[in-house]
Structure 1
Amino acid sequence: MKEYKVVDWKMGFSKNNEKLEDTLNTYAKQGWRVINIAESTTRIVFERDKNR
């Protein structure tokens, strides 16, 4: 079974790529995998196995 998490990522005026990378790495360490990044809304959808 899968579980999902939706995160609204806030863009700033500087270091956007670094902040995005940090966000993605933080969730990856928790076992989350990106399945969608919506550019127009800066929304990231993550997925992971619930019984991990």
Structure 2
Amino acid sequence: MYEYKVFKWNLSTLTLTEELENILNDYGKEGWRIFDIKFGNRTVFFTNPNKNETTIILERVKEN
């Protein structure tokens, strides 16, 4: 069984990519991995810089 964590990232802060990298690395240390990245209602891996927000979905094996 898996559990999921969802958070939004404001794309207007792309100059702070190091901050996002640190956040993802911290989640990785807890066993989370990127499951999907949503932009609007579509799955994307490269987002349109004219939009402001993307949703990042993380997944990990649920501990019993």
TM bucket by the smaller chain? 0.7 to 0.9
The number of equivalent residue pairs is 51
Displaced runs of 4+ in structure 1, greater than 6 A?
A: none
Identity of aligned pairs, percent? Answer: 43
Q: Deviations over 1:15-45 (max 9, x none)?
A: x211110111011011101011234532110
Unpaired runs of at least 5, structure 2: 39-46
Unaligned runs of 5+ in 1: none
Give the TM-score taking structure 1 as reference length: 0.74
Partner of 2:54: 42
Which has the greater radius of gyration?
2
Give the distance between the partners of 2:5 and 2:25, measured in 1 at CA.
15
RMSD: 2.0
